[in-house]
Amino acid sequence: MSILSVDSISVEYQTLSDAVRAVQGVSLNLKEAQILGLAGESGCGKSTLAKAILRLLPETGIVVSGKINFKGKDLLRLSTSEFRELRWQILAYIPQNALNSLDPVYRVGDQVVEAILAHERVSRNAALDRARQLFSNVHLDERSLRAYPHQLSGGMRQRVLIAMAMALDPPIVIIDEPTTALDVVTQAQVLSELISMRNRTSSGMLYISHDLGAIRQLCNDVAVMYAGLIIETGNVGDIYGEPLHPYTMGLLNSVPKSRGAKRLVSIPGAPPNLRSEIQGCAFHPRCPFRDTRCVKETPKLYEISQTRSVACHYHHKAKNFRILAEDPNIWQMPEPREAVMSDFKEDIVP
Amino acid sequence: MSSIQLASDSESPVLQAKNLKRVFKSPLGKQSLVRAVDGVSLELRKGETVGLLGETGCGKSTLAELMAGLQDPSEGEVVFQGFPLNKKSSKSQWRELRQRVQIMFQNPFDSVDPRYRVMDILTEPLEVNGVRAPERRDRAIAALETMKLTPPAEFIDRYPHEMSGGQLQRVCIARALMLNPSVLIADEPVSMLDISVRAGILILLDELKNTRNMGILHISHDISTLVAVSDRLLVMYLGKIVESGSTEVLVSSPAHPYLRVLLNSVPTVHDTLFTKGERELTLKGDIPDPSNIPDGCSLWPRCPLAVEKCKIETPKLKPLDQMKTHRVACHMAHTDDH
């Protein structure tokens, strides 16, 4: 059953002269106990989408159209105070940078207790008991409750945030790149905390990441974003095993499969400028399989099966494309293209 | 040059570190010292890529700067083409090292002057070394072509902010190659770039290794990337090399618990790159404060295999095989049948 449904939402960042269309009519459904990975490179709109759901967009970011439904309510129509009631209780958030997300002058235990007391009428002791339980769930020592954020390591702080997010057992949790700033071993530990959390609750989770390996390990389903659009969705096995969209194929082939750099695929060019209207398929300038139809006509999100959809006119040729896409030379096309967006990791908010 | 000399030329390392140490005084207390690099020896030959694998704070970037002559070692020395470089070395010897051993960094936007155009970025090393202006421009254009930034005319007058990260990283590689170095030290060259453009940089580095017969020291925390591009691997933990050997051997039979855990825990996109072993093998806690490294083996408080001996005696990097190519610093690896 769907608990959160995002219905063709569009977000723009206003600048002095024009607008950047960061998210362009994206729809998705989050089901109970589902972990949906939102994959994509910098500037594809994945974080903007999350922030729009959480109402954490900066002032320049405006939701221009669409609906976000939770139990028949449109979250976008709620007043600020109504929405505040929902935070933590219905909609929890695990942000990327744990140090910036905790108050440096409060003990972390008190911060968890405060979140519980703000939403539930329980005694302080009961809240503290729950905090203790939450900490032990994420393998944090009880003594950590009395620690200040700076006394904890990066991995421990991230676990505090996971514990806090789960404090009120929310039906929806949005997780934004929780492992980027962490070491490999710590990353693996945080991922395993998230996996055990997945097995403990029935919360639906939206996991936003550029890390295709982490998504593969943690999520049930994936939505791949490119240039403000969802271009492919499906369960993890299908997406990683039999991608249908050329962009997904290129992305997966650009990650090492075997030894030797020669076999790596590099997708030429850069994502399109989101300040102007995109003609045809957003990926066509970089796609080795494009033809005139791709240049003129924007593909809709074709439904392939109940669980799969793809925004490519030629999805029925995907099997051939997959074989061709293994060859790095296929991707090298003659004319160079203007880079209009930086290919840096950080999402760039104009 | 005789063929015998040629053969020995490819055998002998172009750049070596001999028991390099770099100690920093910790700003926190007068007593505490941070041993960022603690007795590292390594050899780099022409035409090979050596991957240096390590996590944040293990001292891999300090080692890179020591190897490039950007920092002075507290102990030990860098040996370039058989000549040791130390305080007694002449200015011209240091000059030779700094010309022939080039370094590139993680963030291209931090590594160039934002007010320099590509032309200025690329020609500065030539200017410093007395190349005349018309030749400088020609060489800059040729370098852009090598880096596949074509047509060069379109890029040569750009400022850094007018380029993407991937393009600017290519400019940084081009700059490093302007003086035809024999060694390139690449410190996390792709980790700030998006996945789809990483491959382009990695392929470029691989081509340079082959066409220019360069030695490349590729430093990264990203196991998948290093396994894909390196001929040999060095694994670093808290200032020390804990395991080294050919990439095939290290991924198929890792001996040090640290490497075994790393290989098991990294979430991979494809299962074909290397096989994962024991899932249950993990490390406890986090990397300790580098100013307070535990006695004995520095991994023991986190290590699932640690015994009493590990707490007392620091393990040495010793060969495991008869060829002496696979080396590991772990008491347990040398006692059991690994």
ipTM: 0.84
d(CA A84, CA A81): 5
Chain B contact present for A346, CB below 8 A: no
Which chain A residues touch B167 with a CB distance below 8 Å?
339
Query: Confidence class of residue B30 from pLDDT cuts 50, 70 and 90?
Result: low
- The reported pLDDT for the residue numbered A335 is 46
pLDDT tens per residue across span A127-170 = 999 999 999 988 898 899 999 999 888 888 988 999 999 999 99
At which residue do the structure tokens 């003609």 appear? Answer: A279
Over residues B211-223, mean pLDDT: 94
pLDDT above 60: residue A119: yes
- The reported pLDDT for the residue numbered B233 is 97
Query: Confidence class of residue A333 from pLDDT cuts 50, 70 and 90?
Result: low
Query: Confidence class of residue B10 from pLDDT cuts 50, 70 and 90?
Result: low
Which chain B residues touch A266 with a CB distance below 8 Å?
196-200, 203
At which residue do the structure tokens 């769907």 appear? Answer: A2
Which chain A residues touch B283 with a CB distance below 8 Å?
185
Chain B contact present for A349, CB below 8 A: no
Burial class (CB in 10 A: 0-12, 13-18, 19+), B84: middle
**Is A251 in Cβ contact with B164 (below 8 Å)?**
no
Q: What percent of chain B has pLDDT over 70?
A: 93
pLDDT tens per residue across span A23-70 = 999 999 999 999 999 999 888 999 999 999 999 999 999 999 999 999
Q: What percent of chain A has pLDDT over 90?
A: 62
Number of other residues whose CB lies within 10 A of the CB of residue B163: 22
pLDDT above 80: residue B1: no
Q: What is the widest separation between alpha-carbon atoms in chain A?
A: 68
Looking at chain B, which runs of residues are DSSP E strands? 15-25, 33-44, 49-53, 75-80, 83-85, 101-104, 183-187, 215-220, 232-237, 240-246, 318-319, 327-328
Which chain B residues touch A255 with a CB distance below 8 Å?
195, 224, 269-270
Of A155, A341, A343, the CB nearest to B286: A155
**Residues with Cβ < 8 Å from B267, sequence gap 6 or more?**
A187, A188, A191, A211, A213, A214, A216, A217
**Is A345 in Cβ contact with B196 (below 8 Å)?**
no
The verdict on pTM exceeding 0.80 is: yes
pLDDT above 70: residue B8: no
**Is B193 in Cβ contact with A343 (below 8 Å)?**
yes
Determine which of A28-42, A234-248, B288-302 has the lowest per-residue pLDDT on average.
Answer: B288-302
d(CA A116, CA A118): 5
Chain B contact present for A231, CB below 8 A: no
Nearest CA in chain A to B247: A259
- Whether the bond into B134 is cis, omega within 30 of 0: no
pLDDT above 80: residue A115: yes
CA distance B269 to chain A (A): 4
**Is A42 in Cβ contact with B203 (below 8 Å)?**
no
Query: Confidence class of residue A309 from pLDDT cuts 50, 70 and 90?
Result: very high
Instruction: Name the residue among A141, A56, A231, A260 with its Cα closest to residue B285.
Output: A141
Look over chain B and give the mean of its residue pLDDT values, rounded to a whole number: 89
Over residues B69-94, mean pLDDT: 90
A299: DSSP letter = P
Which chain A residues touch B56 with a CB distance below 8 Å?
183
pLDDT above 70: residue A228: yes
Query: Confidence class of residue B139 from pLDDT cuts 50, 70 and 90?
Result: very high
pLDDT above 70: residue B4: no
Nearest CA in chain A to B262: A185
Probe site for chain B from A219, A342, A347, A348 (most B CB atoms < 10 A): A342
Query: Confidence class of residue B56 from pLDDT cuts 50, 70 and 90?
Result: confident
Calculate ∠ Cα A283-A287-A288, nearest 5°: 170
Q: Counting every residue, how long is chain B?
A: 338
Which chain A residues touch B192 with a CB distance below 8 Å?
344-345
Give the residue, B280 or A198, on which the prediction is more confident: A198
pLDDT above 50: residue A350: no
Which chain A residues touch B270 with a CB distance below 8 Å?
252, 255-257
CA distance A166 to chain B (A): 22
pLDDT above 50: residue A338: no
d(CA B250, CA B245): 6
Element (H, E) at B329: none
pLDDT tens per residue across span B162-192 = 988 889 999 999 999 999 999 999 999 998 8
CA distance A338 to chain B (A): 9
Chain B contact present for A342, CB below 8 A: yes
Nearest CA in chain B to A191: B267
Look over chain A and give the mean of its residue pLDDT values, rounded to a whole number: 88
Chain B contact present for A337, CB below 8 A: no
pLDDT tens per residue across span B238-247 = 999 999 999 9
Chain B contact present for A16, CB below 8 A: no
d(CA B254, CA B257): 8
**Is B195 in Cβ contact with A251 (below 8 Å)?**
yes
- The reported pLDDT for the residue numbered B145 is 92
Question: With b meaning 16 or more CB within 10 Å and e meaning fewer, what string describes A30-67?
Answer: bbeebbbbbbbbbbbbbbbbbbbbbbebeeebebeebb
Of A184, A254, A341, the CB nearest to B266: A184
Over residues A172-195, mean pLDDT: 85
At which residue do the structure tokens 């759901």 appear? Answer: A53
Nearest CA in chain B to A267: B196
Which chain A residues touch B193 with a CB distance below 8 Å?
343-345
CA distance B129 to chain A (A): 33
pLDDT tens per residue across span B224-233 = 999 999 999 9
Question: With b meaning 16 or more CB within 10 Å and e meaning fewer, what string describes B199-212?
Answer: bbbbbbbbebbeeb
**Is B287 in Cβ contact with A264 (below 8 Å)?**
no
Which chain B residues touch A153 with a CB distance below 8 Å?
286
**Is B273 in Cβ contact with A258 (below 8 Å)?**
yes
Residues within 8 A of B (CB atoms), A 145-164 only: 153-156
Which chain B residues touch A288 with a CB distance below 8 Å?
none
Of A257, A266, A268, the CB nearest to B203: A266
Q: What percent of chain A has pLDDT over 70?
A: 95
Query: Confidence class of residue B20 from pLDDT cuts 50, 70 and 90?
Result: very high
